[in-house]
Amino acid sequence: DSKRLYYGHFILSPLRNGQADTVGIVLRRALLGKIEGTCITHAKFGSMPHEYSTIAGIEESVQEILLNLKEIVLRSNLYGVRDASICIKGPRYITAQDIILPPSVEIVDMAQPIANLTEPMDFRIELRIKRDCGYHTEVRKNAQDGIFFSCGNGNAKYEILFLEIWTNGSLTPKEVLYEASRNLIDLFLPFLHTEEEGTRFQENKN
């Protein structure tokens, strides 16, 4: 969906022979695997026996509603797990804007469809929201597989490094590049400290 596709194009140069390859591969892995995102990880409908059930007065099955909830892109700086909910009276069409969110959580596309209530009824879902990175598979009842990827794709060309980044809107391409670079710096910092400690050890021996 173009509403939720953000694109950024970045250039790094000059680079010595082989450096663009090294930087491009490492950055791509950091972008696709280590950038934190926020998503809905659990949905509770009440007394539904299983996710393939249907609810009278709702056009979609429970499975279809869960898939629609998985498509919702969230933007936040929260840590840990937070609760959200949907409380609606039908008939009406439910979209992402009907979700009652905790503070500091925003929805990227308010028009994302969730369900269509075709009859007068009370509709309630309790949701759980979490910030994490990568892809987590949930096995609990009506749980959502957590897709925490903010960055959707990345390409690199050589020897001048051309870096293309697509995101889903929860973070901008510039923000995910910053996060990936910071994560890589944090990853290598212990090696710098090891070198300093080794130098001090040699000095003490002398």
On the question of pLDDT at 199 being above 70, the answer is no
Confidence of residue 142 (pLDDT cuts 50, 70, 90): very low
Q: What's the pLDDT score for residue 127?
A: 94
Q: Where do the domains of the chain lie, and which CATH numbers do they carry?
A: 6-35+137-177 (3.30.1360.10), 37-134 (2.170.120.12)
What is this structure's pTM? 0.71
Q: What is the pLDDT of residue 50?
A: 62
Q: What is the pLDDT of residue 152?
A: 59
- Mean pLDDT confidence for 164-171: 88
Question: What pLDDT, in 10s, does the model give residues 173-187?
Answer: 999 999 999 999 998
Instruction: Give the burial class of 97: count Cβ atoms within 10 A of its Cβ; 0-12 exposed, 13-18 middle, 19 or more buried.
Output: exposed
Task: Give the mean pLDDT of 10-19.
Answer: 86
Which of 8-12, 129-133, 141-145, 200-204 is the least confident region?
141-145
pLDDT in tens, 97-124: 999 999 889 999 999 999 999 999 999 9
What pLDDT is attached to residue 140? Answer: 45
